[in-house]
Structure 1
Amino acid sequence: MKLEQIPRIENISKDDFVRNYVQPQKPVVITKLIEGWPAYDKWTLDYIDEIAGDKMVPLYDNRPISSEFKFNEAHTKMKMHEYIELLKKGPSSYRIFLYNLLKEVPKLQQDFSFPDIGLRFLKQMPMLFFGGEKSKVFMHYDIDYANILHFHFHGKKQCILFPPTESKHLYKVPHALITREDINFNNPDYDKFPVLKKAKGFITELNHGDTLYMPEGYWHHMTYLTAGFSMSLRATPRTLTNFSKAVYNIIFMRHFDNYMRKFRGQKWIDYKNDQAVKRTHKKYDIRG
């Protein structure tokens, strides 16, 4: 695929960030934005284990989406201490996804602050994400169309992004926020998914302390190159159009999808995956 390296800068003023990245909706990595945070030095897997090891956490793995689980329903649970021990042993597909550990462990809130960078943050929704070495987060965009600052800690993570304008090339699944899950975005099968050749996106590798800005509605695919974790701060959509899309997704789409999974089961999942290919190929008059 046509993947451009995301620009990397050490720091930036609020005015420049808004003018150069937020207004044109372009991604960027800021490498020294959080060096003043206590979290920059403190937040490791060992530290999380120390202060939150007794917390029960929801876990997801790489299994395909099925009618067995509701939208964003966890696959299993275990104590944070057990999970961190699992991560230290080697590759693991288990991830923590969208977990408000900062609410569960208020002490963590002392370790960071909301950057004065021109975004209207939703201050009740800082989320942590953990992953084992080689675990992946399938290509998706966020239900609320938020502007996101994604801060990475402990380890390395690869991020592939596509702007919303590339949706037509990504085999988007209808009534969902994902692409076909059998697409390997690190090594695409162009015989099976030929339209992917047209997709133009971005790629970067995040290291400890890096901050990735993901504009609203951007598709993103994450691969944990090593065990590690990240935190996201979310900001409201800038346009009424995207705010309306977020409301639709939250109020109608996810509930409709959950209902259809319950009503039609795996047939609904298979239908959507089939339609992702048919609708994409129809736009480009591809048959077979």
Structure 2
Amino acid sequence: MVTEIQENVSEFIIQGLSDTPKLQLPLFVLFLIIYLFIIIGNVIIFLVIFLSSDLHTPMYKFLQNLSIIDISSTSNVLPSLLHRLITKQHKISFFGCMTQFYIYGSLMCSEYILLTAMSYDRYVAICHPLHYIIRMSEKHCAWLFCLSNCVGFISAVGYVVLLSKFSYCDSHLIKHFFCDVIPLLKLSCSDTFNVEILTYVIGTLFTFNSFLLTLISYIYIISTILKIQSTHGRQKAFSTCASHLTCVIILYMTIICLYMKPTTSYSLGRDKLFSLLYIVLVPLLNPLIYTIKNKEFLIAFNKLRQKVKSFLFPDETQI
């Protein structure tokens, strides 16, 4: 049977995570809890940094921006996933699909640049502490924030333009739980060579180069830390970098396994797993990794908690 090619597509069908009816409710409850934890954790980070003047430093401002990206990226995918799990309505409009992918791709590229900027911040703080105030001034930080956001949102435009011009086969079934580039390429009946080339170009410019710059920064950081004679000083320096390095490793390994390969090697189950790791695991772990052993943040959090408690329960604080 010859597959029919349709030029004008009004909607797609999202396959979702599982076709088993018994799993729909448990998956809904699971991802609802995860989503709430992600939102609450990242909102707490944002508010504590925003309300604590002691944390108004470049490192915490970068972390604050990362929290915004984590909230936005999960809110772009998980609410629609939860809606499909509970209502069993798997249709998404063509415009909605392109919008979801654009936001997803833009935030991903912005996160690459932001994590690279965070590694540069740690590099300057540890390797060139006397130059830190000059190199990481408010002007330079604002420029880095603007660069990460603007470049990220511009980089995904080419994808959306090319994908919107493709012809799609009559099934319109996206074998994924959200609109991503590889499932859309597999669904298209057009020549996808241009988009595959664009994927490798952007992957090289953002993923590989960002990872390379981060790796070089940490080579210098670790070599500098090892030269510190004080054991306490080495431990303190390592503790300020360990959280960021952990998130970087998880993120880049996930993205490289997910996108830096030909579309012919696409595996539905494997790619869903890696997508879940990026969309769910990374934003879920970021609040824990960056705060659980961060003394400065914990002190600021406890101070803010006491202020809120004294405001809500003034009588108890006077006892």
Give TM class, smaller chain: under 0.3
Larger fraction in strand = 1
Larger fraction in helix = 2
User: TM-score, with normalisation over the residues of structure 2?
Assistant: 0.22
